[in-house]
Structures are given as C-alpha cells and as structure tokens.
Amino acid sequence: MIHACTLGLHRHVFPDLKAVLAKASPARSGDMLAGVAAASEEERMAARLVLADIPLAHFLNEAVIPYEDDEVTRIILDSHAAGAFLPVAGLTVGEFRDWLLSDAADTASLAALAPGLTPEMVAAVSKLMRNQDLILVAAKCSVVTRFRNTLGLPGRLAVRLQPNHPTDDPRGITASMLDGLLYGAGDAVIGINPATDSLPAITALLRLIDDFREQYAVPTQSCILTHVTNTLRAIDQGAPVDLVFQSIGGSEGVNSSFGVSAALLDEANAAARELGRGTLGNNVMYFETGQGSALSANAHHGVDQQTIEARAYGLARRYQPLLVNTVVGFIGPEYLYDGKQIIRAGLEDHFCGKLLGLPMGCDICYTNHAEADQDDMDTLLTLLGVAGINFIIGVPGADDIMLNYQSTSFHDALYLRRVLDRRRAPEFEEWLEKMRITDYRGELLAQNSQYPLLGLAESIQETP
C-alpha cells in the first residue's frame, strides 16, 4: 500500500509499509549500508508523519516480509491474540504512542496487551518515541521469569556473570567466576561463551559450573553459549544443562544462517523443560539478538534493522524464555556507528522486548572500532537501569578477553544498584548474605579467609 505526505513543496511517497518504517527510523549506519534509510532529515520526518496516521490494525494486513516466504512472519501472525489487541485496535500508531504514555497503560494493562501486539506495531511506535518515552513506558512493564530464582521483580536488577577465557581454561574461568560472585554478580545466569564448539569441552564446562553450583547451593542457573544442536547433544549425553542458548534473528533467512528454525528451537525447549532442573520455574531458554544481524546475513528483505530486531522478539516469546539479551554494540560501526546510535538502539530493543512481554537484558557494549567509549556505556547503563532492565552483563573490569570487546563490569552493576537502589534476585540475595559476601542491605562485606568463597579462591591457586 502506497503512503504519502506533502511537506512544504515536497511530496514524499513511500511504496509500502516497510519503506515507511525504514525511513521513519532514527539514523543509523546499518540502514544506510542497506540502502533503506531516509535520504534527508525532512524525508525522515515525512515518514514519521505518515507512520503516526497508520492504523495499528493495518499491520495485521500488510506483512513487511510475506507470510508465504517467512517462518517468522507466520509465527507472528498466527500467534496474534485478537482479544488482547482490542483495547488499542482502533488506534493509529501515533495515538498508540500517546496511549502508552497515558495512565490507562499501567503494568497490568500492558501485560495483558502484550500478546495482542505484533513486533512491527511495537517497532513502529518506538520510531515515534523519544528516548524518555521509551524509558517511561518500559519502566511500567514487568516481566518476571523463574528457573532457580526469580528474575525481573520490581526494584531488582540481575547480572549475567560472564567468566570467559580465550582457551576455556578451567582455572581461568573459575578465577573470573569467583571474582564475579565475590562482587555479588551471577543471579541472571553464570554463562560462558566457549572458545570451542567441541562437545567434550562443552560438557566439561557444564560440569565445572554445575559442580560448583551444587557444592555451594547457589540459587542460580548455568549456561554454555554454544549452538542449540550442541546443547541438544549434551542433553542426550546426560550433561547438566540448565538453559538452552541460541542466537536468533527476525527473519527465516537470518535464522537459517544461524543454523536454526522454529522446529529446532521447539525441540530444544521441550528437551530442556523435560529435564525439570528448574526448582522455581521452567523458563529454560536464553536468547541473544542484536540489530544488524539480518543485514549481515543478507536476509533483511529491505526491512530496517530495528524492525527486524523486534521480529526476533516475536519469535523469542513463543518459548517463554528466562532471558533475552540484546548484544547491542557488538556488531560494529557499519551497523551502529557511534555511542549515540548504540544508546538509542539499546533503549529501543529494551522497550520493544518488554512491550512484547519478554524478560529483556542488554549487553551494554562496544568494540574498539566504534565511535564509543566508557562514557557512552555509563549513559546507556544508567538509562536502562532507570527503564527497569531485567539484567546486564558482568565481566571482570568490563574487558572480555575471549571475545575482544568491552561490556559492563561487576563494578558497573554495583554503581547501578547504589544510584537506583536496585537489589538482586531475592533468592540470590539471601545466598550472598549466607555466604557472607554481602550484608543484610546487599552491600559488599570485607572478605577474610574464614568466609567460604574466599577460602575456595585461596585453594585454587594451590592446585598445581
């Protein structure tokens, strides 16, 4: 369907919905690389003016990637809950933005609405929202998930402890893991990006964390971030798999480039649930996403990278995951050029995921060839904290020596807890106090050798 508007002397014409969405998107390098971005600032505003007047219901009739061609589109449209959509069914995208900011949209009504929204509706409205709008609305959303602890409760912030090591050395990994735990991190998951995909190595890492977790009765979950097929094989072999990890994207093509499909994810989700290892709940999936992956896989269908990213969340919610992590600054400057673009993308992803009912976290990160630095990360960290993010990443000193990029540190999480009064997952908080890592307020205690984890740290060094 053709959309058009006149601004001054210029008539701006957009051939279809995906063109309106792409040109309404805030500027970013990936959309320019794909050739879908607005050619001028006026054209961007023209697209926004057009977008604001498009009825939300239109999104159910015009798919940005055809239903016949794409599994993700089919999942999005087939799972759309018409009843849940009713409260906003008569609104345009622009009116929807106002409704989201209004008092009619509270935590309960937003949760009830989530299954009635499609990713494209959510992406569309985000393009009409300023950063403060994205923060305000996301902060009203609450998404709580459970495995061995409870994540996403109001006033809480969790941390994925990411003790990566370039050669998967068990002592090196343990050193980073203990460092993180002694800083009170690890309630979201203890998750390792392995250097190798070999099954024996994956299994060894799973046992390394699981043995530790069992011995110290840590109320958290572990994950080795390997391909879903490896995790399925590990499950077959009886390895202690808590969560199934997979990178996913917002089109069938990008998922196929990742070597996954909905059928494969269905199988993995069922296999992990069947293990019944969660003590408080059975959210077993951990997904990672990031704007730009579809373009990188040449599977973007002319859709802008932020809309495609929201579609990945449409796939993710089929599985009621424990964690969804947008790895926002990892992909590089050809997709998100600088701190401004990374910050905007992080806020968009968090907002879109939350509105769709997902437990969103963010790897607040950058690479050394992006125009970004620690100040940009501090800004995004603070903004996402205010927006009520479920979890962030914790890496020793923010320097991931395996993946060669900068994420957030254990200290960063403590900063956020202090300035925003955010506590850890309740079960984990209790454990930290029992282990004398924190006091009753959640503040770190000075350690001494009599405390169990420091005792363990001292014993590792003595191993030859």
Partner 1 sequence: MSQKPAILTPDPWQQLQGLTRARVALGRAGVSLPMREVLRFGTAHAQARDAVHTALDVDLLANELQADGFKTLAVHSQAADRATYLRRPDYGRRLDPASSGRLADNGKNLWPTRPRLAIVVADGLSSLATSSHTRAFLAALRAHIPDLSTQPLVIATQARVALGDEIGHALGADQVVVLIGERPGLSSPDSLGLYLTAGPRPGLNDAQRNCISNVRPEGLPYAEAARKLAFLIDGARRLGRTGVDLKDDSDAPVLAAPETATPFPPTLNRLEIPA
Give me the least distance between CB of 380 and partner 1, in Å please.
Answer: 17
| DSSP 8-state secondary structure symbol assigned to residue 322 | S
Binding flag, residue 450, partner 1 (CB under 8 A)? no
Give me the torsion for CA of 176, 179, 184, 188, rounded to 10°: 0
Looking only at residues 86 through 125 of this chain, which bind partner 1 when binding is defined by CB under 8 A? none
Q: Residues with Cβ < 8 Å from 432, sequence gap 6 or more?
A: 184, 424, 438, 442
Using CB under 8 A, which of 71, 288, 304, 427 touches partner 1? 288
Binding flag, residue 204, partner 1 (CB under 8 A)? no
DSSP assignment of 275-318 equals H---SS----EEEEE-TTHHHHTT--TT--HHHHHHHHHHHHGG
Count CB atoms within 10 A of the CB of residue 221: 30
Which residue in 22, 3, 12, 14 sits closest to 301, CA to CA?
22
Q: Which two tokens stand for residue 166?
A: 């370039």
Which region, left, alpha or beta, applies to residue 148 given φ > 0 means left and ψ of -120 to 50 means alpha? alpha
Using CB under 8 A, which of 89, 175, 262, 264 touches partner 1? 175
Please state, in angstroms and rounded to a whole number, the distance separating the CA atoms of residues 340 and 327: 16
Closer residue to partner 1 (CB): 147 or 337:
337
Q: What are the two backbone dihedrals, phi and then psi, of residue 127, each rounded to the nearest 5 degrees?
A: -70, -15
| Cross-strand bridge partners of residue 222 | 190
Closer residue to partner 1 (CB): 169 or 236:
169
Closer residue to partner 1 (CB): 266 or 399:
399
Interacting stretch for partner 1, rule CB under 8 A, among 123-131, 272-280, 293-301, 350-358? 293-301
Residue in the structure block whose two tokens are 């199988």:
267
Binding flag, residue 460, partner 1 (CB under 8 A)? yes
Closer residue to partner 1 (CB): 253 or 357:
253
CB 394 within 8 A of CB 160: yes
Interacting stretch for partner 1, rule CB under 8 A, among 36-44, 193-201, 300-308, 432-440? 193-201
Interface map 231-260 toward partner 1 (x if CB under 8 A): --------------xxx---------xx--
Q: Which two tokens stand for residue 24?
A: 């309404």
Closer residue to partner 1 (CB): 171 or 434:
171
Binding flag, residue 418, partner 1 (CB under 8 A)? yes
Looking only at residues 61 through 90 of this chain, which bind partner 1 when binding is defined by CB under 8 A? none
Using CB under 8 A, which of 237, 404, 421, 452 touches partner 1? 404
Looking only at residues 140 through 169 of this chain, which bind partner 1 when binding is defined by CB under 8 A? 163-166, 169
Which residue in 110, 127, 161 sits closest to 18, CA to CA?
127
Binding flag, residue 174, partner 1 (CB under 8 A)? yes
Count CB atoms within 10 A of the CB of residue 232: 17
Q: Residues with Cβ < 8 Å from 251, sequence gap 6 or more?
A: 65, 70, 72, 294, 299, 300, 301, 303, 308, 311
Closer residue to partner 1 (CB): 55 or 451:
451
Looking only at residues 363 through 382 of this chain, which bind partner 1 when binding is defined by CB under 8 A? 367-369, 373-374
Please state, in angstroms and rounded to a whole number, the distance separating the CA atoms of residues 191 and 209: 9
Binding flag, residue 441, partner 1 (CB under 8 A)? no
Closer residue to partner 1 (CB): 203 or 293:
293
Binding flag, residue 283, partner 1 (CB under 8 A)? no
CB 444 within 8 A of CB 183: yes
Give me the least distance between CB of 309 and partner 1, in Å please.
Answer: 12
Binding flag, residue 201, partner 1 (CB under 8 A)? no
Interacting stretch for partner 1, rule CB under 8 A, among 263-271, 272-280, 348-356, 389-397? 389-397
Please state, in angstroms and rounded to a whole number, the distance separating the CA atoms of residues 133 and 128: 9
Closer residue to partner 1 (CB): 258 or 313:
258
Residue in the structure block whose two tokens are 């307020």:
441
Closer residue to partner 1 (CB): 21 or 414:
414
Count of residues interacting with partner 1 (CB under 8 A)? 75
Closer residue to partner 1 (CB): 152 or 442:
442
Binding flag, residue 395, partner 1 (CB under 8 A)? yes
Binding flag, residue 401, partner 1 (CB under 8 A)? yes
Closer residue to partner 1 (CB): 125 or 358:
358
Please state, in angstroms and rounded to a whole number, the distance separating the CA atoms of residues 372 and 388: 23
Looking only at residues 318 through 347 of this chain, which bind partner 1 when binding is defined by CB under 8 A? 327, 330-335, 337
